[in-house]
Structure 1
Amino acid sequence: MNTSMLGLATTFSLTLLAFAAPAAANAQASATATSSLPFEVKPVGTFNNPWAMAFLPDGKVLVTQKEGTLILFDPATGTKRTVSGTPTVSSKGQGALMDIVPAPDFAASKMLYFSYSEAASGADTRVMLATATLDQAGGALKDTKVIFRGQDASTGGHYSGRIGFSPDGKYLFFTSGDRQLFDPAQDPKSTLGKVLRLNLDGTPASGNPLAAKGFNPAVWSYGHRNLLGVAFDKQGRLWEMEMGPRHGDEINLIKPGLNYGWPKASNGSHYDGRDIPDHKPGDGFEAPKVFWDPAISPGGLAYYDADLFPKWKNSLFITGLSGKSLDRIALDGENAKKVDHWDMGERIRAVRTGPDGAVWLLEDGPSGKLLMLTPNK
């Protein structure tokens, strides 16, 4: 099904069956033929509903798990250690201990940035962005501080919560999903359905493009649905991946102040089959650079520019949950093109480039494997 977790609100239940039958493909979204795998796949660890990962300078990996556990993993030895001090996570529906990213100055500060879903009043929940210092020797998070709180909502999904730092290390970009509420994505006062640009302390960055027009001062771009990945390319362009409704998953080039259309425009449809106007020239919305119909239900996004796979330099990798796939998107300036689609046989939650240039994947589910992809010998 086209969602990052199984626990969607019951209002969507009638539409889940729709993903069993593929929609008609179009020229832009036609899938590249799945080829034999041009890489070796090595399982190096198994985790309980893993969600995201981050490499540390010493080669160890931090893995977040849905229920709120943070694991410090050594790929060289297979050793796992549970990191204490994580906050209480509301893991119902799509809730989770979500993204985790070392600070730009992690080597000196040992600071981590991470996101998670938290219970609010009544049945409400919200996405949280926090910092903490990693005591690696003691296996603990210390001095945890919440630096941003998302708006409360009673729905169980579309938290988003992805973290990216600007190439100069001065700003933090944070994705805030529409929480399955649709209209807030177009509401200037709301932070839902937005890409936010923050200072490293979580306050709105000065110079954000829409503040003078009455928008929340943190907003960088708007009209987004469920933003599940952000990555900067080598020229400093910001790329974003989001899950569409019924099909219409997309990759966007994020530019300041632009409106990306949700829920007024999408190359997918509503879950009950009602049409949403497709993106088209002159509609006032920024169209995606790449989209999928049928859906792949994207889970993670990473930028690749390493030497281990030289033919893949300047590419994006996007993982598929329902698609059980890994896709490579070649970048050329502001243009993007589908070039490879590989069937991985399992739902893939996350992707990262490792320190040595290998591509690392996290499978979804209670026995999700951490996979290392290296060139075929």
Structure 2
Amino acid sequence: MRTLLTAAALAAALAGPGQGDAPAGEIETAAGPAALERMAEGFRTPWSLDFLPGGGFLVTERAGALWRVAPDGTRTEIGGLPGIAAIGQGGLLDVLVPRDFADRREIVFTYTTEIEGGGTGTAVGAARLPDGAGRLTDLRVLFEMEPGGRTGRHFGSRLVEAPDGTLFFTIGDRGERPSAQDLSMHNGSVLRIARDGSVPEDNPLVGRDDALPEIWSWGHRNPQGLALDPEGRLWLHEHGARGGDEINRVEKGVNYGWPVISYGTHYSGAKIGEGTSKPGMAQPEFYWDPSIAPSGMAIHSGALWPEWRGHIFAGSLKSDFIAHVGGDPLREIARIAGPATGRVRDVTEGPEGALWFISEAEGAIYRMTPAP
């Protein structure tokens, strides 16, 4: 899960972004009505958000803008970003406020950029956000994928801080399906690096001549949701083609099968690969058919809804709802839908266990809490 705010910060946040004219409303959930508040608006293709200590939050826009929204609702664009290639599905993508932000003032973010040798690809950057400043400083490029790709698709790019302080992030197959099984490429993988950009020695492929050492797992199509559960285990969801959107528990050194196995079909209706299973390739914990085009992923701590501890919430880009998945085995429990859930790009747990989400269709940020 991402950084949670304190009760004092929650009070500040409630007094802030857009609250002077934010509509109060309710939305139905499996636990009954929830209160819904619009916390900020006016964004163009917002992609991700994360929370700052003491109140306020950061929002990325895919075209290449980073915004800080203060507790009083003041919105400031932050300069000093690296060169961003806003092409197709790429641009400025995920943003992470690490646990040590109060001490280091450093944020981490993913973006697409021109890759040396040609093409574009996913990169990870870090920079300091000085208190009250409108510009990043001490910019560092922690990672750039190799090789670059020629398409504008499937950049993945979700980012999570692990309990040990290392960084997990995703890269899709870039629309080049066989590359997700090629360990000499970063395509179609979950990757893990240290905060200084180095490769941890316990990564599963370290020391192999035929593999890139940042790779943690592979055989993914386009993972646009990544989160830790309350026990610290890593999960993702990824886009299938026509059907076969998956939720996977991410294990070290595991092949998740794309494009050899899938529960979907090609958009033409043709069969994908060899079927739905093959020895040595992991099965999903859950899949959607038909596809919902999932984006953003929160696994609830149970702070505000104890019965939801460990439950997964994923936005739908295709069908305008938030999917609520839980149980053992996993099943879709409910679809949280209303006027605010248009093309949900990101879902995350925020202050005191509230669920926050981005409506890309409205260019707005919403906060959901149990109804009083």
Could you list the per-position Cα deviations for residues 230-270 of structure 1 after superposition, in whole angstroms to 9, with x for gaps in the alignment?
11112221101111111211110011111100011111111
Residue 274 (structure 2) pairs with residue 275 (structure 1):
no
User: Could you tell me which of 68, 80, 84 is aligned with 1:85?
Assistant: 80
Query: What secondary structure is seen at the aligned counterpart in 2 of 1:191?
Result: coil
One-letter amino acid of the structure 2 residue matched with residue 54 of structure 1: D
Aligned to 1:341: 335
Equivalent pairs counted in the alignment come to 339
**Identity percentage of aligned residues:** 36
Distance 1:212 1:87 in 2: 31
Residue 286 (structure 2) pairs with residue 290 (structure 1):
yes
Query: What secondary structure is seen at the aligned counterpart in 2 of 1:327?
Result: strand
Could you list the per-position Cα deviations for residues 147-188 of structure 1 after superposition, in whole angstroms to 9, with x for gaps in the alignment?
10012011001111111111132x211212111101111012
Query: What secondary structure is seen at the aligned counterpart in 2 of 1:185?
Result: helix
1:42-191 equivalences under 5 Å are: 42-46=37-41, 47-74=43-70, 76-120=71-115, 124-151=119-146, 152-169=148-165, 171-191=166-186
Whether the 8 Å contact between 2:77 and 2:134 is mirrored in structure 1 is: yes
Residue 226 (structure 2) pairs with residue 217 (structure 1):
no
Distance 1:174 1:319 in 2: 18
Query: What secondary structure is seen at the aligned counterpart in 2 of 1:356?
Result: helix
How many angstroms does 1:121 deviate by? 6.6
Whether the 8 Å contact between 1:268 and 1:278 is mirrored in structure 2 is: no
Aligned to 2:314: 318
Label 1:278 to 1:37 Cα distance change in 2 as closer, same or farther (>3 A). Answer: farther
Label 1:331 to 1:81 Cα distance change in 2 as closer, same or farther (>3 A). Answer: farther
Distance 1:309 1:34 in 2: 11
Aligned to 2:225: 229
Aligned to 1:303: 299
Distance 1:298 1:258 in 2: 22
Distance 1:307 1:329 in 2: 17
Aligned to 1:25: none
Could you list the per-position Cα deviations for residues 14-49 of structure 1 after superposition, in whole angstroms to 9, with x for gaps in the alignment?
xxxxxxxxxxxxxxxxxxx99797312211211111
Distance 1:240 1:120 in 2: 26
One-letter amino acid of the structure 2 residue matched with residue 363 of structure 1: S
Distance 2:131 2:121 in 1: 29
One-letter amino acid of the structure 2 residue matched with residue 95 of structure 1: G
How many angstroms does 1:119 deviate by? 2.9
Whether the 8 Å contact between 2:115 and 2:144 is mirrored in structure 1 is: no
Gaps of 5+ in 1: 1-32
How many angstroms does 1:143 deviate by? 0.7
Query: What secondary structure is seen at the aligned counterpart in 1 of 2:179?
Result: helix
Query: What secondary structure is seen at the aligned counterpart in 1 of 2:348?
Result: strand
One-letter amino acid of the structure 2 residue matched with residue 240 of structure 1: L
Could you list the per-position Cα deviations for residues 319-348 of structure 1 after superposition, in whole angstroms to 9, with x for gaps in the alignment?
10102110122255xx53322212234110
Aligned to 2:238: 242
Gaps of 5+ in 2: 1-27
Could you list the per-position Cα deviations for residues 179-201 of structure 1 after superposition, in whole angstroms to 9, with x for gaps in the alignment?
11011110121111111121111
Distance 1:372 1:176 in 2: 28
Query: What secondary structure is seen at the aligned counterpart in 2 of 1:211?
Result: coil
Distance 1:285 1:344 in 2: 38
Residue 223 (structure 2) pairs with residue 252 (structure 1):
no
One-letter amino acid of the structure 1 residue matched with residue 126 of structure 2: T
Whether the 8 Å contact between 2:30 and 2:333 is mirrored in structure 1 is: no
How many angstroms does 1:58 deviate by? 1.2
Aligned to 1:39: 34
Whether the 8 Å contact between 1:303 and 1:353 is mirrored in structure 2 is: yes
Whether the 8 Å contact between 2:230 and 2:300 is mirrored in structure 1 is: no
Query: What secondary structure is seen at the aligned counterpart in 2 of 1:273?
Result: coil
Normalising by structure 2, report the TM-score: 0.86
Distance 2:261 2:32 in 1: 35
How many angstroms does 1:99 deviate by? 0.5
